[in-house]
Chain A
Amino acid sequence: MADQEENMKVILFEMNSETYGVPVEQVLSIEKVDNITRLPKAAPFIEGVMNLRGLIIPVVDVRQRFQMGDSELTNESRIIVVDVEEMNVGLLVDASKEVLDIETSKIEKAPEMIGGPSANYLNGVAQIGEDRLLLLLNLNQVLNQDDVADLQKIEG
């Protein structure tokens, strides 16, 4: 066994048939979608707010966030509640089923992609399995609101 190799536990989720991952340390829980209250006047990618055991948690539609269109809610849809910079935020994703150990050495710098999130939002990519590519999300960047303000300006 290669003792030198460092592993990292990642929660995997699906979106647009791509596989994304967030470090397990940043994930508080994975919830089924239930009663999201729409939040008027919020940015379009904010799906709304939900009640998570007495706390009000904003839910971000990750697909919208990356401007990849609206998410459709299915039975598989999940909300991954993450803790980033002391903010608790729910990420609405298409499905989330696996937890995976990946070797940090296998993570490569993210290339610029077409149609997906820009490299800014990624911490890196890793090959998993035969032809599956894992995109590791940089949550701090995904939830960075300054960026959002700029984005809204462009959209006018």
Chain B
Amino acid sequence: MDMSQYLGVFLDEAREHLQNLNDKLMTLEQNADDPELINSIFRSAHTLKGSSGQMGFQNMMELTHIMENVFDALRHQNISVNSEMIDVLFEGMDHLEAMADSIEQTGSDTCDVAATVRKLQAITSGDQTSSDQAEKKTKPKNANASIHGETIKLTDYEKDVISQVQAQEMHVFETVISLNKDCVLKAARALMISNAVEEIGTIIGTRPSTEEIEKEAFDQQLVFLIATDAEEQQVLEKINGVSEIAKATVTPITTVGEKQPVEQGPQAQEIGSKKQKKQMPIPNKSASGHQPVAVAKTIRVNLDRIDQLLNLFEELIIDRGRLEKISSEIDNTDLKGTVSTIKRVSNQLQETILNLRMEPIEQVFNRFPRMVRSLSKELNKKVNFVIKGAETELDRTVIEELGDPLMHMIRNSMDHGIETPEVRKEKGKDPQGTLSLSAFYSGNHVFVEIEDDGAGINREKVLSKAIEKNVVTEEAAKKLTDKDVYHLLFASGFSTADKISDISGRGVGLDVVESKIHSLSGTVEVDSAPGRGSKFTVKLPLTLSIINALLVQCCNEVYAVPISSIAETALTRNIEMLTIHDRNVMQYHEQIVPLVNLKDYLSIHSEIKDGSQEDENGNSSVVMVHHDGKHVALIADKLLGYQDIVVKPLGKYLKKVPGFSGATILGDGKVALIIDCQVMITKQKKQYLKEQA
């Protein structure tokens, strides 16, 4: 069967299981005695093994299998959790993740895992199960691990099914059947037997394998493993109902004990079938202490389709606008009612569609506990890592981009923030530092905070470094506020670490952070209290595709200003305009702010200035926009009001046109450009500096 069409689903599933394993392993280190936890780990590993086997990824299946042995030994309390073991298991996890990546890119799961496999085997062989290892060729003799009445070696999968079946108080029989020596159509006979048996139960496994039976690749003897509600005698009767049988014996299998670590190869078929069986509703799984948790049903949808849906919806909104206009012109109550219903429904529809793109930030947060764990080992620091608000939802595109910047900031906090236990003790702090990663909503934004209770940022040290590296001049440095100084950490070519370490990189990390966050229309701030810790705050828009904006009119053109850039609005007649060096400025909170007439900025030609000189009447408006702590006052003819707008890119052809972060389509189908205040403010500053020089 061609499996390629299932590859995407397999990889998604595999990654989910790997994530689950990662999370649970982290917890396991702290809660070694939680049986539910280890069961859950075991189940994930087991499913992963099954599906990788089914997809034909032998290496992945084998590695998972060996890891599963460790989990199984843990489950049966043959070995106990320790830190080295978790390290080795994580090593295995890394390989599995690498395999998943390699499968995605090259379609093969080749990966050298020999060293890890040896370490993993050493864990299992270092305990009671070592007898299994040594005697894997023979029947296990360990009383606890033996299977009574067993004449064949059971596979892991079969044992699993057997224990599940037995948990449902069904019987499992091993049926040995010898066919007559002169039996001609052995395969047909075998089929008849299996049909007969399936009338009263289910065949769990066969010896030889089903394929071999179909090819008649056996002598006279067949072994069926049967799960059934019926008694021994009934099974025997059924089998004996088939002719040409020389002898049949039915032996109950009573206990399933330990699993042997080695059995591979021809059972791929059986492992493959496991997935379907797993999905069989087995109502009572209490044997493994597992209570199924109600999980919301999900399907995977290509993001393009959602975008397409959004595009179609936007067209609908434009037509809705037209419809509203028409209905306001025609005085018809029915029409008005219908239009208002359409409006209400489409508003809900918009919310729903936008929500489709939202995903919990958990996806990014998940990968950090492990990173913190390994970093704390590497750095010999003790860290209590706390995650809050992982359920906060964000636009998917933002989530995808957020991982790297957060990683750099966490590394930075681990490396430079939190002190070693010795230093902390000296300072009278808890030797274990706390690093918290939290996400929450506020207004139209999502905030992500990384807070540590470490040494904090040393203003002097940062400044001297910054001056040394020519990031700021000595003159300018004196005027900087603490926040400005801390922000220097994000300047490129800046690293305060006395030694370069692998952890926070070579001074490139935080620089990347700021540009990345900016590209997501977000901002990042640092706050710090020396000796008590520091806090990085990332502020992100809820979604990139829809923003709240103020629509402003200049002559007969309409522009949108993102509300995230707006500090205040006012009427021109209420402000005091000043002129300094031939530039119009105004006073704003003890700051001198340049005034920019949008007509000039947008080079609106005098001929389209429809003659209205509203400036003189003072009826025009001022919009105070800010970026990075700097303000500019924009003068527009008229403020049309706030509106949620859908941001559309201007496209590749216009990428060289500066000053606009995109465009949006208004209710009347016209395009309005979105003013990029960041560019405008930076430009104002440059222009100012140029004039000064």
Binding site for B on A (CB under 8 A): 34-35, 37-42, 46, 48-51, 53-58, 86-89, 143, 145
7 residue pairs from A and B, CB less than 8 Å apart: A35-B670, A41-B603, A51-B669, A53-B315, A54-B648, A57-B651, A145-B653
- Judging by beta carbons under 8 Å apart, are B653 and A56 in contact? no
What's the least CB distance linking A109 to chain B, in Å?
A: 28
Task: Kindly identify which residue among B603, B659, B665 contacts A54, using a CB–CB cutoff of 8 Å.
Answer: B665
Residues of B within 8 A of A34 (CB): 669
- Contact A56-B648, Cβ < 8 Å, known A35-B669, A41-B603: yes
Are B656's CB and A58's CB within 8 A?
A: no
> Roughly how many angstroms separate A40 CA and B602 CA in the complex, as a whole number?
5
Ranked nearest first, the 4 interchain pairs of A and B with the lowest CB-CB distance are A37-B671, A40-B602, A54-B311, A42-B657
Give complex CA distance A89, B669 in Å.
Answer: 18
Bound-complex Cα distance A41 to B669 (A): 23
* Contacting pair B651 A58 (CB below 8 A): yes
Min Cβ gap B667→A in Å is: 11
Question: Chain B: which residue is nearest A88 at the CB level?
Answer: B651
Beta-carbon contact of A145 and B656 below 8 Å: yes
Closest beta carbon of chain A to B662's beta carbon, Å: 8
- In the assembled complex, the Cα of A137 lies from the Cα of B488 at a distance in Å of 52
Best-surrounded residue of A39, A40, A41, A48 (most CB of chain B within 10 A): A40
A40 to B650, alpha carbons, bound, how many Å?
13
8 Å CB contact of A49 from B311, B318, B602, B650: B650
Task: Fill in one digit per residue for B560-586: 1 if any A CB lies within 8 Å of its CB, else 0.
Answer: 000000000000000000000000000
A81 to B671, CA, bound (A): 17
Quick one: CB contact mask for B594-614 with A, threshold 8 Å, 1 for yes?
000000011110000000000
A151 to chain B, nearest CB (A): 13
Given the contacts A87-B652, A89-B653, A50 and B658 also touching, CB distance less than 8 Å: no
The reply to whether the CB of B18 lies closer than 8 angstroms to some CB of chain A is no
Knowing A41-B658, A51-B665 touch, does A87 contact B651 (C-beta < 8 A)? yes
| A58 partner residues in chain B, CB cutoff 8 A | 650-651, 653-654
Shortest distance from the beta carbon of B578 to any chain A beta carbon, whole Å: 27
B635 near A: Cβ within 8 Å? Answer: no
- Which residues of B (629-688) have their CB < 8 Å from a CB of A? 648-654, 656-660, 662-663, 665, 669-673
Question: B interface vs A, CB < 8 Å?
Answer: 311-312, 314-315, 318, 557, 601-604, 648-654, 656-660, 662-663, 665, 669-673
Whether B650 lies near A56 (C-beta < 8 A) is yes
Nearest to A84 among chain B residues (CB) is B653
Decide yes or no: A39 and B665 within 8 Å by CB, A49-B650, A58-B650 being known contacts.
no
| Minimum distance in angstroms from A28 CB to a CB of chain B | 14
Sample of 14 further A-B pairs with CB below 8 A, known A51-B670, A86-B652, A145-B653: A35-B670, A37-B663, A37-B671, A39-B657, A40-B603, A41-B659, A48-B671, A49-B654, A49-B673, A51-B318, A55-B311, A56-B665, A57-B651, A143-B653
Asked if B663 and A56 make an inter-chain contact with CB atoms under 8 angstroms apart, the answer reads yes
> Judging by beta carbons under 8 Å apart, are B312 and A37 in contact?
no
Known A37-B663, A37-B671, A41-B603: A55·B557 in contact at CB below 8 Å: no
A34 to B318, CA, bound (A): 14
| CB-defined contacts of B318 to chain A, threshold 8 Å | 51, 54
Q: Which of B669, B672, B673 has the most CB of A within 10 A?
A: B673
Q: Which residue of chain A has the shortest Cβ distance to B675 in the bound complex?
A: A40
**Chain B residues, Cβ within 8 Å of A37:** 557, 663, 670-673
Query: How far apart sit A58 and B671, CA to CA, in the bound complex (Å)?
Result: 11
For the complex, give the distance between the alpha carbons of A40 and B558 in Å.
12
In the complex formed, the residue of B with least CB distance to A39 is: B657
Name which residue of chain B comes closest to A86, CB basis.
B652
Bound-complex Cα distance A35 to B557 (A): 11
Q: How far is the CB of B197 from the nearest CB of chain A, in Å?
A: 61
Distance of A62 from chain B, by nearest CB (Å)? 14
Closest residue of chain B to A149 (Cβ to Cβ) is B656
Q: CA A58 – CA B660 in complex, angstroms? A: 14
Measured between alpha carbons, how far is A89 from B657 in the docked complex, in Å?
A: 15
B648 in contact with A55 (CB, 8 Å): yes
| B654 and A40 form a contact (CB under 8 A) | no
Question: What A residues does B314 contact at CB under 8 A?
Answer: 54
Interchain CA distance A49-B558 in the complex, whole Å: 13
Q: Note all chain A residues with C-beta closer than 8 A to B665.
A: 51, 54, 56
Q: From residue A111, how far is it (CB to closest CB) to chain B in Å?
A: 29
Q: Which residue of A lies closest to B313 (CB)?
A: A54
In the bound complex, residues from chain A placing their C-beta under 8 Å from that of B670 are 35, 37, 51
A-chain residues with CB within 8 Å of residue B663 when the two chains form the complex: 37, 49, 56
Nearest opposing residue in chain A for B665, CB measure: A51
Contact: B649 with A56, CB < 8 Å? Answer: yes
Q: How far is the CB of B109 from chain A (nearest CB, A)?
A: 34
The residue in chain A whose Cβ has the minimal distance to the Cβ of B650 is A56
Instruction: Report the bound CA distance from A89 to B662 in whole Å.
Output: 16
Residue of A35, A42, A54 most packed against chain B (CB within 10 A): A54
Q: Does the CB pair A40–B669 fall under 8 Å?
A: no
Smallest CB separation, B167 vs chain A (Å): 56
Residue of B with least CB distance to A53: B315
Q: A residues within 8 A CB of B649?
A: 56
CB distance from A59 to the nearest CB of B (A): 10
Contacts of B673 in A (CB 8 A): 37, 39-40, 49
The smallest C-beta distance from B216 to any residue of chain A, in angstroms, reads 59
| Interchain CA distance A38-B314 in the complex, whole Å | 22
Q: Which residues of A contact B654 (CB under 8 A)?
A: 39, 42, 46, 49, 58
- Cα separation A41 to B660 with both chains bound (whole Å): 10
B658: chain A residues within 8 A (beta carbon): 41
A40, B653: Cβ atoms closer than 8 Å: no
Instruction: For the complex, give the distance between the alpha carbons of A37 and B673 in Å.
Output: 8
Among B653, B657, B672, B673, max chain A CB count under 10 A is at: B653
Contact residues in A for B671 (Cβ distance below 8 Å)? 35, 37, 48-51, 56
Given contacts A37-B671, A40-B603, A51-B665, contact A56 B659 (CB under 8 A): no
A56-B658 Cα distance, complex, nearest whole Å: 16
Q: How far is the CB of A80 from chain B (nearest CB, A)?
A: 15
Query: Do B657 and A41 touch (CB < 8 A)?
Result: yes
Q: How far is the CB of B588 from chain A (nearest CB, A)?
A: 25
Q: CA–CA, A48 to B654, complex, Å?
A: 10
| Cβ of B627 to closest chain A Cβ, rounded Å | 18
Let me know if B653 and A54 touch, CB within 8 A: no
> Residue on A with the closest CB to B668?
A35
Residues of A within 8 A of B603 (CB): 40-41
Alpha-carbon distance A138/B662, docked complex (angstroms): 28
The distance from the CB of B307 to the nearest CB of chain A, in whole angstroms, is: 10
A56–B651 CB distance below 8 A:
yes
Could you tell me the distance between the alpha carbons of A56 and B312 in the complex, rounded to whole angstroms?
14
Note all chain B residues with C-beta closer than 8 A to A143: 653
Which A residues lie within 8 Å of B557 (CB)? 37-38
Closest chain A residue to B308 by CB distance?
A54
Interface contact A40-B315, CB-CB below 8 Å: no
How far, in angstroms, from A89 to B658 measured CA to CA in the complex? 18
Task: Kindly state the separation between the CA atoms of A69 and B273 in the bound complex, as whole angstroms.
Answer: 73
The answer for the CA separation of A35 and B659 in the assembled complex, in Å, is 21
What residues on B are CB-neighbors of A41 within 8 Å? 602-603, 657-660
* Min distance, Cβ B148 to any Cβ of chain A, angstroms: 69
Contact of B653 among A38, A48, A53, A87 (CB under 8 A): A87
- The residue on A at minimum CB distance from B669 is A51
CA distance A44 to B603 in the complex (A): 12
- Shortest C-beta distance, A46 to chain B (Å), equals 7
CA distance in complex: A34, B659 (Å): 24
Give, as a whole number of angstroms, the nearest-CB distance from A24 to chain B: 21
- Can you name the residue of chain A whose Cβ is closest to the Cβ of B314? A54
- Measured between C-beta atoms, what is the minimum distance from A35 to chain B in Å? 5
Tell me the minimal C-beta distance from A116 to chain B in angstroms: 23
